[in-house]
Structure 1
Amino acid sequence: MKPVILPIENKYENAIAALIINIQQKEFNVPITLKDQPDLFNIQNFYYAGGGGFWGAFVNDELVGTIALVKFDEHSAAIRKMFVKKEFRGKEFSIAQQLLETLIEFCSKNGINDLYLGTVSILEAALRFYEKNHFVRVEKESLPKDFPLMTPDNVFCHLSLKK
């Protein structure tokens, strides 16, 4: 059962919101609401219009994972909304890996040399995943000035895509 990774837009906003809020609130008790994430209901303008993107992983037409990219300067972007439904995590499906590779391929084709992300320290498996993919932890103070901060984030990572 190989997942299909596709660019997704506003027509999937309810499925996206349900997937993400369920993981954030119910699974990890991250204190964040849909109101705190208006981007989820404005994907076209928030992600695509600035040169970023939003991808979904589908298994049997069900949305089981997401990843998004916010371009915040000419050669830099931030990963957002990287979530995979609990039943579809791990090496067996490799959905997170395929989502990340799709995003990195997009960056390479579009002149994005630096990828950043913010997350919360409770998401230990996510942090291990990023480190396995050569992301390096950085201090909040060393982030680019235009990096789009999210309130709950307390761990930050960087990946240089320059060859």
Structure 2
Amino acid sequence: MTDATDQHTDQQIEPHIELGSADVLYRDDALIAVAKPPGLVSQATPDPRRDHLLAAVTRYLMRVDGTIAPAPVLVHRLDRDTSGVVVLSLHPDAHGALGEAFRSREARKTYLAVVATAARTVATDEAWTIDNHLRVDRKAKTQRRVQAVRSGGDRAITDVRVLAVADGAALIEAR
């Protein structure tokens, strides 16, 4: 992945992310799975100068295939500061099926995180469940934000397991 800047404007813009073949983890006629780096939003924001993953995938397909027909469509998103695999559909039929798989939770997402353990010690293979309710923060004016609420909102259950512990940090898996 490389950065390319726009030389045709006087406005300060973020560097464009240029995906390379190593960033494409899987591709067939129906979908493409890419590695999203931290710091990059998944889709366009109100700021047209901010680069995003969908634009980077579109540029990649144009560079590699010479076309973007049909245009890629995000099946799900990752937060700006989260790195990981993002799936985009390349065919309208695939978009509906993949979208439904994520909505119905048939597609399972697994996150790995390194966390500080200063507040409490944890042991390898320790596990617990976080049962929460989330809703869109209506007070957020510039971005779509989700917040935990005591009632209402969508139920969010996350199973957490400690994979390794070392030097005041733990590697955890969250599903």
Q: Which has the higher strand share?
A: 2
Q: TM (normalized to structure 1)?
A: 0.29
Q: Give the TM-score normalised by the residue count of structure 2.
A: 0.27
Larger radius of gyration: 2
Larger proportion of helix: 1
